[in-house]
A and B are shown apart, each in its own frame.
Chain A
């Protein structure tokens, strides 16, 4: 700013006041209501976490006395599975968070009173899936995202059904009926 010396005293006083009584928010929002939301990607991300747990399980232990080339190969696969698990658990959180924050309105949560708890559960479960190789936690994450997806479509008056993912991972996804 151009006049810091003149501004400073009043400014400092006002900012001190802000700390006691916060200012109101004047929204200059990037609120383009594009209105396109879909919980599909969150479910794919949760399925990917399950798949990575499966691949890590299938990889087994590094054989004793493995050659350097074989050990490199094993470590490379293991690292990639963990990296993708991390990435997709985080993607799952992000997708759910955006729909939860940008799409859901108070009137929706009046009907779906457990929505906030479901989202909170998803955040916790996704983090648990990053911290651990835990097939059960991965299934719980998918189940929670199913609940979230069903609630999302319900707010639009769209009935849902569960159908097989038809992917190597198995499992189901919630889609409009």
Chain B
């Protein structure tokens, strides 16, 4: 899936206007890992998507098991993330950011 970044909360790694390819199949094979940048559904507004980094993942999790993930923006000062809306379920994570284009 193609996405375009909006807003500064993932700077400097990702800047507004950058185009991203998101691998929606990535987490069918395995669970999200700490440090990966993901697109997820906004828990407070399900009609839109957020770009965040996985900060805490459930320990030792087999792929099919569903868990809760703590996501943070890199630019913590200007990010609305799990500090505000709490951990997110695996199903809310759309996919892993694979590359830019």
Chain A positions within 8 Å of B, measured between CB atoms, are 1, 7, 10-11, 14-15, 17-18, 22-33
Residues of B within 8 A of A11 (CB): 19, 101
**Chain A residue contacts of B10, Cβ below 8 A:** 28
CB < 8 Å neighbour of A15 from B14, B19, B79:
B19
Across the interface, which residues of B come within 8 angstroms of A25, CB to CB? 3-4, 6, 48-49
Docked CA distance A25–B19 (Å): 9
Besides A18-B2, A22-B4, A28-B9, 9 more A-B contacts (Cβ < 8 Å) are A14-B19, A15-B101, A25-B48, A26-B3, A26-B49, A27-B42, A27-B50, A28-B11, A29-B50
Residues of chain A lying within 8 A (CB to CB) of residue B51: 26-28
Interface size for B (C-beta < 8 A) is: 32
Whose C-beta in chain A lies nearest to the C-beta of B38?
A26
Indicate if B16 sits at the interface (CB-CB under 8 A).
Answer: yes
Residues in B24-49 with C-beta less than 8 Å from chain A = 39, 42, 48-49
Instruction: Label chain A's interface by main secondary structure.
Output: mixed
B86 interface residue, CB < 8 Å from A? no
Partner of A32, one of B11, B39, B80: B80
From known contacts A11-B101, A14-B21, A18-B2, infer whether A27 and B78 are also in contact, taking CB-CB under 8 Å: no
13 contacts between A and B (CB under 8 A): A17-B2, A22-B4, A23-B4, A24-B49, A25-B4, A26-B6, A26-B50, A27-B49, A27-B50, A29-B7, A30-B7, A30-B78, A32-B78
Q: Which residue of B lies closest to A25 (CB)?
A: B6
Q: Give the residues in chain A near B80, CB-CB below 8 Å.
A: 29, 31-33
